[in-house]
Amino acid sequence: MAAIEHQVEHEHGHASPAVRLENLKFATWLYLASEVVIFTVLIATYVVFSLNNREVVHEVHEKSGIVLVALNTFILLSSSWAMVMGLRQLKLGNRQGLITWIGRTALLGTVFVALQYVEYRTLSDAGVVLFYTGGELSEFGMRFYAPTAFHGAHVIVGVLWALFIIWNARRGNYSAENYAGVEVFGLYWHFVDVVWIFLFTFIYLI
């Protein structure tokens, strides 16, 4: 996604901030639309399996527990709020405020990934593995890890992007009038949060 920002800024280096923002948003929405299709397929595959294997799903939920996942959900939602606060500070002309809040976004995203790893270790110890080794638990694992790990990869990309935003901010590349790159990052990060809400609902609650 950072590459999208670089490409559009290069092609429209002399365009007004408003034009650059619209170009960046359009490119981002095209990218996110393709991601929606992929996540929809992955979630639908899991839902079909869970409807036909309710006992297996219930067994896995008991082994993994909902508390850790609920905490991780709160952490990710908090990171989205931190991102909003960072953009708000930039629009107020406070570049250091942007750096501080986007840094918190990156930190919370990192914590989310770390706790997801803890969850994966717990499930692995319980026999829920990624590759099919025979049995219903491994069948569940194949359908569980695909959407959640794919989402986790998006969070990692988002954390790296947040660090790129901080690096750009320290170089003075953003201002109250020039915040296109930060706003587009916000679109991506909110998308990651919304996808997790669907994953949390369909995988852990239903």
CA distance 51 to 203: 11
Task: For the chain, give percent helix, strand, coil, nearest 5.
Answer: 85, 0, 15
Q: Report helix, strand or coil for 139.
A: helix
The structural architecture, per CATH, of the domain 17-205 is Up-down Bundle (1.20)
The tens digit of pLDDT for each residue in 105-164 reads 999 999 999 999 998 888 887 777 665 555 556 678 888 889 999 999 999 999 999 999
CA distance 73 to 193: 9
- Does 10 score more than 80 pLDDT? no
- The single-letter DSSP state of residue 202 is I
Q: 1 or 124: which carries more pLDDT confidence?
A: 124
Nearest to 99 by CA among 162, 17, 159: 162
Nearest to 56 by CA among 116, 127, 115: 127
Q: Report helix, strand or coil for 16.
A: coil
The tens digit of pLDDT for each residue in 52-98 reads 888 888 877 777 778 889 999 999 999 999 999 999 999 999 999 99
Residue 126: partners with Cβ closer than 8 Å, 6 or more residues away: 60, 63, 64, 137
